[in-house]
Amino acid sequence: MTTTHFITKEQALNIALTYAGIENNDFRCLGNSYCGGFYQIAVRTPYLKYEFFVDAVNGEVAGIDTQPVPYRAGLCFCSADEDGLTAAA
């Protein structure tokens, strides 16, 4: 019997950030969930929203979607994430 080992949510987040070249203090994690063998990770920077799909077994980024963040006068970007996940150095 073969046991499959999965990467953690934190590892998947770090892989996604590294893949996109996002610095540790330049993002807000909007979501990180597991479904169908992939972690689906939503991240926001001051300029872009990212959605990553990271393979839960091998850690490869299987897909990425980006959208620009609309400019709003007076809107302050906060670098703290919402669910307590932060990228390791």
Question: Tens digit of pLDDT for each residue in 11-69?
Answer: 999 999 999 999 878 899 999 999 999 999 999 999 999 999 999 999 999 999 999 98
> How many CB atoms within 10 Å of residue 59?
15
In terms of Cβ atoms closer than 10 Å to its own Cβ (0-12, 13-18, 19+), residue 16 is buried
**pLDDT digit string (tens) for 67-76?**
998 876 555 5
CA–CA dist 82, 29 (Å, integer): 6
Domain layout of the chain by residue ranges: 9-68
Whether the predicted model's global pTM rises above the 0.85 cut: no
Q: Which CATH class is domain 9-68?
A: alpha beta
CA–CA dist 13, 24 (Å, integer): 11
